[in-house]
A and B are shown apart, each in its own frame.
Chain A
């Protein structure tokens, strides 16, 4: 338990750091873009919305920075992230709660698939070193050197424009109403194929390589030699002895590479106009919609931290040493 508590404490600190960065950035950087936006919208903002934007972006300069910080936390805890300029006059929190499920679904599923697939391929590549599997490494390296969004562009150009097999944009067919019907779910799956495959193809290489290198190292360990000497089946040695230990760095690495993967996945959403947070962020960039962009950053950070905590639970289950410490 100590292990999990320590991790949870670390994630709380990280969350605090992200929120504080969000608070400080608009105050530290030169220029007052939000003030300009408020001026432009003129009388269309009601006084409540105006007040929350003042709190979030520190436009009220009569207050001390501490008072502003306290107000800022107050607004966040009420779930008040200001108004979006892009989707005026919808509150940022509403925009985010509509797009979050799409991102969680797409990025969550594809990340798990890429992790499992890559780890499994890495196990085989490391175990049968020197076989044809080794020639996969340069190919996957090349694929992982391609930016996610560019692979997405190519996928659209081949599978939607040249051979119109799959839809190029959106989360479901135009004209359908989101509901729990077979038609709608089918349409959602169809629209998720191209972005999903793009994310898996670009992120799988890292897992293959990390796992292969760990397998190579672990295979030379004495306990693997003992397992061989005992005459255990290859399968058992490979998975229960070698892979089980080799996977640990991959899982602790999972936590740290997640932020990077999520960044790439956001871009895939932008390219495919997928109705998740990435596309919302993209629309926010165009309109210099700071409340929206900062809201997206906070929600993504929160999601990454929760996913990290889940990875830690997995680590706990696989590595008894972390349990003994507690």
Chain B
């Protein structure tokens, strides 16, 4: 494991820790108001306060959980769907493959953001778990496409033919012969999905279609934007949440590079 991958895993572990303990170590309640209105970062308020005197540091800490939960739930759900569709399509071939590939390509080409905005704003209560489910429904297609291609290249290998000749059932060949060879692809697809889901969730919160009763980093940005934080020069209101998003995204991307380099040795760094 190289330095980049370790750095990525380290940052991810840090945010996971915050997601677990964030609401206990937060110095203030995220929605609690105080008399320090719109004050810049100080000893009492590390990331400053909002126009109603809420502590932004506490909001970021508490909001981490929402972000990580959606990332995890979507990652698991969408990866499951992509394995189901991608591996089945690649392994079976023929008409089933045509239909399933068509389905995943349709999902890839249709712009997901406006569609999810419509769905989320029509739902009567768009809470965290429901949003995670809706995002998963649009996030599986890329993974399915990559898995299909990999499965197709495995399908005619000797060890699969041997299993087939010895009369193994199709699902058993898929689970015990094909899937173990796809672990790297599945892992990188999982990480990619988590990035996509986190970005989408934050975006949806920012535009205000997700319930604002639970905190996440996007909610902070929504309030910053709707209170004209920019025009008032309150940079501390939107900088911390944005940096957290970028850090988490970078960490996940670094982990993905590690997986790619593991799977494709040509990409590893050449030592001069």
Interface residues, chain A, with chain B CB atoms under 8 Å away = 10-11, 13-14, 17-18, 21, 25-26, 29-31, 33, 129-130, 134, 138, 141-142, 144-147, 149-150, 153-154, 156-157, 161-162, 168, 213, 216-217, 220, 255-256, 258-260, 262-264, 266-267, 270-271, 281-282, 285-286, 288, 290, 293-294, 296-297, 300-301, 304-305, 308
B72 at the interface (CB under 8 A from A): no
B149-199 residues at the A interface, CB under 8 angstroms: 195, 199
B57 at the interface (CB under 8 A from A): no
B53 at the interface (CB under 8 A from A): no
B93-133 residues at the A interface, CB under 8 angstroms: 102, 105-106, 108-115, 117-119, 121-124
In the bound complex, what is the Cα–Cα distance between A134 and B4 (angstroms)? 13
A130 near B124 with CB under 8 A, answer no
In the bound complex, what is the Cα–Cα distance between A296 and B75 (angstroms)? 28
Q: How far is the CB of A52 from chain B (nearest CB, A)?
A: 18
Q: Assess A145 versus B250: contact at CB under 8 Å? Given A26-B122, A130-B270, A153-B238.
A: yes
For B119, list chain A residues within 8 Å (CB): 25, 29
Residue among B106, B113, B202 making CB contact with A17, cutoff 8 Å: B106
Q: Which 8 A-B pairs have the closest CB atoms?
A: A145-B249, A263-B113, A150-B242, A259-B111, A297-B114, A146-B246, A29-B122, A145-B250
For A297, list chain B residues within 8 Å (CB): 111, 114-115, 118
In the bound complex, what is the Cα–Cα distance between A60 and B123 (angstroms)? 21
Q: How far is the CB of A176 from chain B (nearest CB, A)?
A: 23
| Number of residues of chain B lying within 8 A (CB) of chain A | 55
Residue among B109, B207, B230 making CB contact with A255, cutoff 8 Å: B109
B238-258 residues at the A interface, CB under 8 angstroms: 238-239, 242, 245-250, 252-254, 257
What would 6 more interface pairs be, CB under 8 Å, given A145-B249, A267-B206, A297-B114?
A146-B242, A147-B202, A217-B264, A263-B203, A294-B118, A308-B109
A259 near B110 with CB under 8 A, answer yes
Shortest Cβ distance from A264 into B: residue: B113
In the bound complex, what is the Cα–Cα distance between A282 and B121 (angstroms)? 12
B231 at the interface (CB under 8 A from A): yes
For B142, list chain A residues within 8 Å (CB): 256
B102 near A10 with CB under 8 A, answer yes
B231 near A161 with CB under 8 A, answer yes
Residue among B109, B248, B249, B266 making CB contact with A304, cutoff 8 Å: B109
